[in-house]
Amino acid sequence: MLWITCEDLSPRLGSYGDPLGRTPNLDRLAAEGTRYTQAFGVYGVCAPNRFTLITGTYPTSAGAGPMRVTSRTAALADVTDPVLRAIPVWEATPPPEVKCFPELLRAHGYYCTNNVKEDYQFQAPVTVWDESSDEAHWRNRPSHGTPEAAPFFAVFNSTITHESKIHERTSPAVTDRAAVVVPPFLPDTPAIREDIARQYDNLAELDQWVGELLAELEADGLRENTVVMYFSDHGDGLPRHKRWVYDTGLQVPLIVRFPEGHPDRGTPGQYAPGESTDRLVSFVDFAPTVLSLVGIEPPAWMPGPAFLGEHAGAPREFLFAARDRMDPAPETIRAARGPRFKYVLNLRSDLPYWGDVPYRDRAAGAAEITRLVADGGLGESQWQLSGTSKPTEELYDTAVDRHETDNLADDPKYAATLLEMRAALGDWMTRTDDYRTLDGAELMATLWPNGEQPTTAKPRIVEVDGTVAITCETEGASLGYKLPGDEAWRVYVKPFDAPADGPIRAKAHRIGWKPSKVTRLTP
């Protein structure tokens, strides 16, 4: 399994019908695989989405919703409000049974690598990856290039298309600025056109990187026994894209390529090469799908259905998304989307859409919008940017209003649809224990006893008659251990034979808690 991921990119690929998308390598991957046209993140920013991708659970259930929780914005020096400057940091803490899904793969013999970004809203336990660094590679697994090599799950992430690469030109200018299409919800100005064009420039550079990575896979003779998944972590890093719950912020390109003979490769109309599917897919479905593809039944605590593999579930009727504090701007929005309609619930309707986000305003186009909002210089179609408050509910028919600017919530013709989607969202919020608090002491008190981060108990190593067992008093703690000569921590699954000589080391870590100290046993 190979995940190729990028950042801050909507479906602008040539294979998705965008004539400005210079993406020959990604288009070739799409021609050899299946293109998903309805794939969505659960947030419009990376850290909450990365929490979901690594755990297979929703950020709203674990205090992982604000952007971010383990650190503050890189533009903190530009935040002048003393209350907003003093927002605390914490670690997202899901229920004790939740694990990072690569740990489950490692427990089944997979070699798991991450190159390189984590940003999970918590410190990753040592059991998650065999290697997580800018040197991590499937080629580093033992016996690489031989039949004895372990199966692998590898993640490679590129930041070429990240929002920060729009702030200043980093890629060659290959896009005609006059050919750029400015959506109606943005003002058509030279600064906005330049920022959109830079997105396309960065996309062209990303495509070259993808081609190089796929060439490495082929050079290693692994093309015909590796499932490849390519996707972005959320929508474009542009105004009213990133951070928003509209499709511009949530929808991502997703391509899955199967090797010849793979049971999910299918026949025409059923995930065959070059086909597309409009099945609704959410990031919360990705972890169970990877497990399903390698024959592991997803655990019950993963709420999303696998969309491929032997444990694939029924297609979704709805998917769900949220927006919370965008450092430092407070916010609470929840959303539901079906195949056609999008429903948005603004729980802080008193707040403006365009809050104070200094990091966002490092881009010239976003800074220009901030000035236009203050000066009243935006047009009627840009009401979502200029509004000083928000309607409590929004409803959009994405089939005819792909930009989501015509709010149908008060239209009696859509009353039944509004009721249905309102009920679906309310059920999801209840079912997933949505905390809906902004941040700070109240949320930390919900996550941790007395509002203070606990420490995972030290593991206990016991050897009886040459068999070693490791236990921990902390419920849900992941257990890692090292034998003499090990560099990476192994995942403890069951008792094992004691080594002939040298110490055994063990470490325990429940997600969101502080990790334990290392325990040693010298036979």
Average pLDDT over the chain reads 96
pLDDT at 291 over 60: yes
pLDDT at 192 over 80: yes
467: β partners: 464, 497
Tens-digit pLDDT profile for residues 489-505: 999 999 999 999 999 99
Kindly state the DSSP code that residue 392 receives in the 8-state scheme: S
Catalytic one of 6, 46, 100, 112:
46
Instruction: Give 266's pLDDT tier (boundaries 50, 70, 90).
Output: low
pLDDT at 270 over 70: no
The pLDDT value recorded for residue 275 is 93
Place of tokens 């793969």: 105
CA-to-CA dists, residue 166 to 31, 107, 203, 259, 500, angstroms: 29, 41, 11, 36, 56
Is residue 112 part of the annotated active site? The answer reads no
Q: Kindly state the tokens that stand for 167.
A: 């702030």
The pLDDT value recorded for residue 398 is 98
Q: How far apart are CA 117 and CA 271, in angstroms?
A: 30
DSSP 127-193: TS-SEESTT--GGGSTTTTSTTPPPEEEEEE--TTSTHHHHTT-S---S-GGGPPPPTTS---HHHH
pLDDT at 272 over 90: no
The pLDDT value recorded for residue 131 is 98
Tens-digit pLDDT profile for residues 467-490: 999 999 999 999 999 999 999 999
Q: Are 175 and 12 in contact (CB under 8 A)?
A: no
Question: With pLDDT > 90 as the criterion, what percentage of the chain qualifies?
Answer: 95
Tens-digit pLDDT profile for residues 109-165: 999 999 999 999 999 999 999 999 999 999 999 999 999 999 999 999 999 999 999
pLDDT at 409 over 80: yes
The pLDDT value recorded for residue 442 is 85
Q: How far apart are CA 201 and CA 174, in angstroms?
A: 6
For the domain made up of 460-521, give the CATH fold: Immunoglobulin-like (2.60.40)
For the segment 358-368, the average pLDDT, to the nearest whole number, is 98
Tens-digit pLDDT profile for residues 411-446: 999 999 999 999 999 999 999 999 886 567 888 999
- CA 365-375-249 angle, to 5 degrees, is 40
β-strand 341-346 against 333-337: which pairing, if any?
Answer: antiparallel
CATH class of the domain comprising 2-314 = alpha beta
Helix axes 46-55, 286-293, angle to 10 degrees: 30
Place of tokens 């003393």: 82
Tens-digit pLDDT profile for residues 17-45: 999 999 999 999 999 999 999 999 999 99
For the segment 65-69, the average pLDDT, to the nearest whole number, is 95
The pLDDT value recorded for residue 269 is 54
Give domain limits for the chain. Answer: 2-314, 322-451, 460-521
- Note if the pTM is more than 0.95: yes
pLDDT at 523 over 80: no
pLDDT at 211 over 70: yes
- How would you class 437 by CB atoms within 10 Å of its CB: exposed for 0-12, middle for 13-18, buried for 19 or more? middle
